[in-house]
Structure 1
């Protein structure tokens, strides 16, 4: 932290909830300070799933693996480019964007450790108890395992 700024890590994926968490964070932590004069160094982390976690060990023939890997890389590039463009639109240009392979829970906690982050921001997908039990909750895992403050940003429900 040569700049004297604390480090904020934000988890990013291709979901509306993740985009909302980034927008909310920029509006509340960076906009009041004029973008790059905010007290935080911003690091956006995208966890790219490994091919084996997507395909499985009993999955399709080996010739499909490079295609799946290429698609995962394209998605990671799309997520990171969208995050960079959004930050630039909010006048936040001092941003580091990283893509790390692995499960999002572990990737985000490792990023917190590596960067000595003082806060981790994640979006909440708002899964119910059953989905959360089956799929697992990244935000819940990080809240219990990250060695820093964890802020879970929930997208407001729209009234119909």
Structure 2
């Protein structure tokens, strides 16, 4: 559904409408990071089909990892994407959701972020500040997924 925004060339709409759409997209993404009821891969792929630049959404995900109230859910979502939404095929990492096929630039942006040293530093800092076993286990799972290259 979000790809229809791109087809409608929403970036060329009046500035107030573009801002309203971006506000709705940001709220949708924040709900994914907070409530954990939607699969991050599905929503992020939808966003990637609507937006040219996913960095604001990836930054929001990284920020959610730093906040105690959202750390566990954001880490679980990240683990889910690494374990179920990525694969290694012919020596290259790729996102498995087929809707990324038409958005190679955005898919590469997500993969670069997923395996970036900057994200790993954020996760390792979260380990230092986590104070419950469930969060620590999820963060350890992330480290294991990175060490494996892709799950």
After TM superposition, the score normalised by the length of structure 2 is: 0.29
Greater Rg by CA: 1
Name whichever structure is richer in helix by fraction. Answer: 2
Q: Which has the higher strand share?
A: 1
Alignment TM-score, normalising by the size of structure 1: 0.28
